[in-house]
Amino acid sequence: MKKIGKWFYEDLPEVLSTNDSVSDLLEKIWAPCIVSAAVQTKGRGRLGRTWTESAGNLFVSFAYEIEPQRVGHYAIISALAVLRAVRAFLPHQKVQIKWPNDVLLEGKKVSGILFEKGPKNYWIMGIGINVAATPKVENPLYEITSLADFKAKTNRFEVLEKLVHEFDELEEKYLQNGFSCVKSLWLDNAYNRGKNVVIRQNEKELKGIFEGLDDNGALIVETKDGLKTILAGDVFKENNR
Ligand code: BTN
């Protein structure tokens, strides 16, 4: 099996979801591993949504151990790693993170991350990056884009290699210096920070000013009833989905 740094790595021709395929690989080798696929037919998104594929895009999942108290931190680290990987190929474009871990390219979603609990202390981090094409999604919740829309000259393998490199580097920084260092990198690149936002969680809606992140990576919003900590949901700019 191939390796990228410390990670065992497999690229498969077609899968339902790389999150499931990496779990299968994990149960064989019990070591940090990555699975990507050329075609993913049943990609899952956050909050029960689906993730639509387009040929040439990156569908990849990482399986690795995380101590329970660090899970929120890794959600922040993973978004930063994607941000840096995208920026590496489009250094002149605006690339930002929308809480919790969507990456936006010129304000449109280019990547999403789905964290799922794996066996033992393992977590599965599934990342989709629109590299070669913008998928056709009916009634998308957000506008979407791809690296190709901005004429980036790259492919899913190069983006993956950069992503792994950035993730490993950020993790090292985090393990050496603690969460505050990655948190401030995240905040420097956050979309809508200090602005009026609406947070939608199922049927519920909460309005306030996006203040920052707490020490677990949760969102802090100043509402008319005081500061609230948000663990899950979608953030929109007020008056503009
Ligand atoms: C989201 O924005 O809702 C998260 C999308 C995550 C999509 C990726 S593609 C690779 C991995 N496999 C899946 O089934 N989902 C993730």
Task: Looking at the CA of residue 128, tell me the nearest atom of ligand 1.
Answer: 9
Task: Looking at the CA of residue 45, tell me the nearest atom of ligand 1.
Answer: 3
Query: Helix 71-89 crosses helix 156-177 at what angle (to 10 degrees)?
Result: 140
Give all strands (DSSP E) within the chain, no chain letters.
2-4, 7-15, 33-40, 43-44, 50-51, 58-65, 95-98, 102-105, 108-117, 122-129, 196-201, 204-213, 219-223, 226-230, 234-237
Gap between the Cα atoms of 91 and 206, Å rounded: 35
Report the half-sphere exposure of 228 (CA within 13 A, side-chain side): 17
pLDDT tens per residue, range 57-103 = 999 999 999 999 999 999 999 999 999 999 999 999 999 999 989 99
Which pLDDT value is given to residue 10? 98
Pick the more confident residue, 205 or 170: 170
Which pLDDT value is given to residue 241? 47
Minimum CA distance residue for ligand 1 atom 10: 59
Which pLDDT value is given to residue 232? 83
Which of the four pLDDT bands, split at 50, 70 and 90, describes residue 202?
A: confident
pLDDT, mean over the chain: 95
Residue with tokens 């190069």: 158
Residues flanking ligand 1, CB < 6 Å: 17-19, 43-46, 49, 51, 59-61, 102, 112-114, 126-128
Choose the residue to mutate in 20, 44, 46, 143 for probing ligand 1, maximizing ligand atoms within 8 Å of C-beta.
44
CA-to-CA separations, 2 to 5, 6, 10, 35, 97, in angstroms, rounded = 10, 10, 7, 11, 31
Choose the residue to mutate in 15, 59, 60, 159 for probing ligand 1, maximizing ligand atoms within 8 Å of C-beta.
59
pLDDT tens per residue, range 132-159 = 999 998 888 889 999 999 999 999 999 9
Residue 240 has pLDDT above 70, yes or no: no
Indicate the residue type of 155.
N
